[in-house]
């Protein structure tokens, strides 16, 4: 690197992050996140695991084709087929990286790979060598490095360096290590491996013990110059190192770490909200940096200090991470210009064909709510493109519920040909209004779906707050997820269910 103080930020939201249960994304959603990561100014985007499935291959290839600036990376096991697939998906982009890995811990060798140590050494060397024949930028990861014998790990890393690896990534794959121990491991490798001055050491941590950020920072203090992380810390099991947390730790405590990153921190909040919206993984209110409570102060003594000087209880400014200070911003008399200005202030942007439907939704919401909050506007922006890609839309909804007579509903849906279809379940009441609405939607559209999960989340505050419903359904052996937002939670559910059906139809058209 030209600047030894700069820490490379390697984002794996689209690969490791997507492996979190329920976080699978469409190609369009991945591309939207990739564009946001580019705006955030990450150095490397791990776009996926090209050999994992045709969908993963297409996603890596699409992102490599459309995103310039960051290095685009694909994961691959140390075998010919995986590496060839990674190369095929990435070769449209000159700024590419192939990331190969093989497990090295005794427990993985015995119970997963059934390989001897000399076979692992050979696989590491030949995997890196083959990847190097396709592109100069090659990363190698010894999976479960934190539980690997240090002597054997040194041998494997030496083999990878000899074969031409330019980045050596040391993963704490199961979130087992602790900061001091992990720092010592990096010291050991950098001291005992050959030609370490020619490679970048990298760190990849999981959060099983809640130590992923701390472990990553310990690695940086011991010589690592790349951090692998995800937006909101999403990932398998307890997740990965949180990009926003580790980057803001480095920025806020620069006098301690004496490092810097390329990240535009003012884009952290909108990127966090985008990933949360697409994956359905809601950000906890008390989440560091981007949670709703991160810059909230309720205790009287805190509020008193804040009024005098914000530094009394805030080590960062909310504006530093892209959170606007104002809350109530617009109302039903606000015009298009004010609406678009506020979207820009919040760090979001709309495509030309998204402006009209988004403004229309804003006006509809303004008629239903006394006060429009920033979170309301975010919700509109994050769902602005749904209407443009949908066959089915909700025109009207009425429900009636009684504890003794069950629940009935009357629905009007419009299809893409502008045909309006009205149905009700007056002769077949359901046990609740959501069930009634879902049954009628299934009857009109012809889709018999299995409801796997139903979540309700408050988008904003107040008696007239918008509620977001996230539904996950099973259809034809696959799970699909949809979101719906409204001041009426039953309408939110209907919108989420319709989004799932529209998503299924879009998926079928592609195949």
- What are the φ and ψ backbone dihedral angles of 140, each rounded to 5 degrees? -125, 135
Residues 101 and 61 in one domain: yes
Above 70 in pLDDT, residue 305?
no
How far is it, in rounded angstroms, from Cα 328 to Cα 298? 18
Rounded to 5 degrees, φ, ψ at 203 are -130, 140
**Structure confidence at residue 361 (pLDDT):** 81
Reading the block at residue 361, the tokens are 């939704």
Band of residue 204 on the pLDDT scale cut at 50, 70, 90: very high
Strands of 13-88, DSSP E: 44-48, 71-77
Question: Are residues 20 and 162 located together in one domain of the fold?
Answer: yes
* Domain co-membership, 456 together with 486: yes
Query: In this structure, what DSSP letter does residue 50 have?
Result: T
In the predicted structure, residue 453 carries a pLDDT above the cut 70? yes
Whether 430 and 352 map to the same domain: the answer is no
In a domain, 204, yes or no: yes
- At 40, is the secondary structure helix, strand, or coil? helix
Q: DSSP state, 213?
A: H
DSSP annotation string for 445-480: HT---EEEEEEEEE-S-STT--EEEEEEEEETTEEE
High-pLDDT (> 90) share of the chain, %: 61
Please tell me the pTM assigned to this model: 0.81
Q: Based on the fold, state whether residues 375 and 395 are members of the same structural domain.
A: no
Domain-ending residue, one of 279, 314, 346: 279
Provide the pLDDT for residue 301.
45
Nearest to 511 by CA among 30, 14, 54: 54
pLDDT band at 303 (very low <50, low <70, confident <90, very high): very low
- The answer on 411 and 352 residing in a single domain is no
Name which of 387, 392, 322 is nearest 355 in CA terms.
Answer: 387
478-486 sheet: strands from edge to edge:
450-458, 467-475, 478-486
Confidence band for 462, pLDDT divided at 50, 70 and 90: low
409 compared with 385, residue with greater pLDDT: 409
368 & 406 share domain: no
Phi, psi of 103 (to 5 degrees): -70, 145
CA 414 centroid distance within chain: 32
Helix H or strand E encompassing 399:
strand 393-402
Higher pLDDT: 219 or 336? It is 219
Final residue of a structural domain among 279, 308, 333: 279
Residue 464: pLDDT band with limits 50, 70, 90: low
Distance CA 471, CA 409 (A): 19
Mean per-residue pLDDT over the chain, rounded: 88
CA separation for the pair 440, 411 (Å, rounded): 7
Residue 123 has pLDDT above 90, yes or no: yes
Same domain, 480 and 365: no
- Residue 509 pLDDT > 70: no
* CA dihedral of 303, 308, 309, 314, whole degrees rounded to 10: 0
The answer to whether residues 356 and 411 belong to one domain is: no
pLDDT of 310 over the 70 cut: no
pLDDT computed for residue 304 by the predictor:
46
Contact 137, 166 (CB under 8 A): yes
- By residue range, what is the domain housing residue 91? 8-279
pLDDT score at 297: 47
Residues 139-151: pLDDT tens digits? 999 999 999 999 9
Q: Are 240 and 234 in contact (CB under 8 A)?
A: yes
CATH number at residue 466: 3.30.160.270
Alpha carbon distances (Å) from 90 to 49, 126, 139, 168: 11, 20, 14, 20
CA distance 124 to 129: 8
Q: Which helix (H) or strand (E) holds 200?
A: strand 200-205
Task: Decide which of 353, 382, 411 is a domain's last residue.
Answer: 382
Residues 351 and 475 in one domain: no
What is the total count of domains within the chain? Answer: 3
CA of residue 344 relative to chain centroid, distance:
21
Mean pLDDT of 124-129: 98
Task: Report helix, strand or coil for 92.
Answer: coil
Q: Are residues 459 and 433 in the same domain?
A: yes
User: Residue 164: which of 139, 143, 190 has the closest Cα?
Assistant: 139
On whether both 271 and 337 belong to a single domain, the answer is no
């Amino acid at each position: 690197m030209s600047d030894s103080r700069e820490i490379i930020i390697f984002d794996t939201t689209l690969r490791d992050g997507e492996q979190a249960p329920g976080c699978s994304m469409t190609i369009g959603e991945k591309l939207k996140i990739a564009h946001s990561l580019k705006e955030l100014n990450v150095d490397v985007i791990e776009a996926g695991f090209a050999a994992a499935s045709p969908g993963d291959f297409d996603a890596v290839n699409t992102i490599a084709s459309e995103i310039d600036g960051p290095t685009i990376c694909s994961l691959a096991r140390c075998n010919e087929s995986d590496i060839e697939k990674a190369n095929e998906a990435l070769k449209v982009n000159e700024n590419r990286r192939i990331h190969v890995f093989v497990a090295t811990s005794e427990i993985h060798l015995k119970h997963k790979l059934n390989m001897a140590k000399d076979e692992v050494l050979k696989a590491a060397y030949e995997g890196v060598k083959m990847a190097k024949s396709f592109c100069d930028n090659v990363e190698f990861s010894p999976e479960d490095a934190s539980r690997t014998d240090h002597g054997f790990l040194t041998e494997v890393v030496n083999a990878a360096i000899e074969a031409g690896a330019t980045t050596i990534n040391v993963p704490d794959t199961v979130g087992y290590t602790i900061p001091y121990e992990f720092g010592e491991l990096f010291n050991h490798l950098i001291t005992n491996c050959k030609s370490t001055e020619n490679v970048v050491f990298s760190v990849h941590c999981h959060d099983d013990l809640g130590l992923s950020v701390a472990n990553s920072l310990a690695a940086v203090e011991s010589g690592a110059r790349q951090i692998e992380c995800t937006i909101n810390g999403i990932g398998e099991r307890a997740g990965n190192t949180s990009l926003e947390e580790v980057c803001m730790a480095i920025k806020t405590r620069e006098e301690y770490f004496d490092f810097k990153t390329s990240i535009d921190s003012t884009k952290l909040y909108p990127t966090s909200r985008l990933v949360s919206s697409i994956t359905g993984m809601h950000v906890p209110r008390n989440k560091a940096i981007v949670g709703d409570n991160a810059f909230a102060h309720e205790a009287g003594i805190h509020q008193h200090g804040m009024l005098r000087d914000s530094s009394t209880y805030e080590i960062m400014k909310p504006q530093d991470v892209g959170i606007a200070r104002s809350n109530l911003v617009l109302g039903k008399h606000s015009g298009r210009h004010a609406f678009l200005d506020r979207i820009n202030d919040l760090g979001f942007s709309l495509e030309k064909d998204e402006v009209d439907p988004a403004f229309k939704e804003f006006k509809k919401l303004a008629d239903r709510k006394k006060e429009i909050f920033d979170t309301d506007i975010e919700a509109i922006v994050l769902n602005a493109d749904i209407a443009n890609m949908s066959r089915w839309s909700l025109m009207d909804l009425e429900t009636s519920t009684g504890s003794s007579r069950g629940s009935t509903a009357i629905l009007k849906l419009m299809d893409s040909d502008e045909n309006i279809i009205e149905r009700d379940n007056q002769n077949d009441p359901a046990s609740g209004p959501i069930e009634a609405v879902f049954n009628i939607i299934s009857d009109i559209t012809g889709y018999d779906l299995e409801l796997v999960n139903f979540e309700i989340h408050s988008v904003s505050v107040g008696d007239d707050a918008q509620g977001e419903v996230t539904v996950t359904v099973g259809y034809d052996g696959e799970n699909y997820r949809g979101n719906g937002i409204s001041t009426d939670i039953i309408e939110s559910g209907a919108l989420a269910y319709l989004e799932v059906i529209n998503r299924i139809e879009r998926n079928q058209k592609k195949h």
